[in-house]
Amino acid sequence: MDTAGRAREILVRLRTVFPDPRPALAFASAYELLVATVLAAQCTDARVNKVTPEFFRRWPDPAALSRATAAAVEEVIHSTGFFRQKAKNLVAAAKLLVERHDGAVPASMEALTALPGVARKTANIVLSNALGVNEGIAVDTHVRRLSFRLGLTASDVPTVIERDLMPLFPRQAWGEINHLLVMHGRETCPARKPRCERCVLGDICPKLGV
């Protein structure tokens, strides 16, 4: 089976296992998902979901956050790690959203990645899940690991992995494949001791690095 055929089969099989893929982060708007995704860097989604209710109670939109002090934000997000840099970036990003985009989250990769603390992964997550725009494939630690193990890329560089993955999956599935690989990575193919004996992809997986 060639790489393209394997990718098609991976999508079909993982859709069967995970029929309703969606972000683990709780959000009700593009702004909320942007904040949650920034906070999720080097932090679990579960921890972020414990922090964001109070965050959004205090700062329900970019305008409110743009007026916040970094110290106040640090206090609320302290448990997510790297809280000083995250607070600084979030407040600065909110100010730019107000100044450049009338307080709305822009629906373009270029505009999103111009915000402090927002790289392609975060932008892809916000675009595909909150704004219905598929500009690329978000490559996090799970997607990075599984893409290599499944033989979909030979690289460990996120930008290269994304470039390798995009032609293998339909554009409308770019957001979905991120969720499917993340969920499969968490449940069956973790970094240590992958459960190959129970894997739905076991017969087509080259098991690179395993």
Give catalytic residues, as residue numbers: 121, 140
152-169: burial string, b at 16+ Cβ within 10 Å, e else: bbeeeebeebbebbeebb
Q: Do residues 147 and 121 lie in contact, with contact meaning Cβ atoms separated by under 8 Å?
A: no
Phi, psi of 149 (to 5 degrees): -60, -35
Amino acid identity, position 44: T
Amino acid identity, position 187: E
Expressed in percent and rounded to 5, the helix, strand and coil fractions of the chain are 60, 0, 40
Element of type H or E holding 92: helix 83-101
Q: Do residues 146 and 168 lie in contact, with contact meaning Cβ atoms separated by under 8 Å?
A: no
Q: What is the DSSP letter of 203?
A: T
The packing angle between helices 83-101 and 70-77, to 10°, is 130
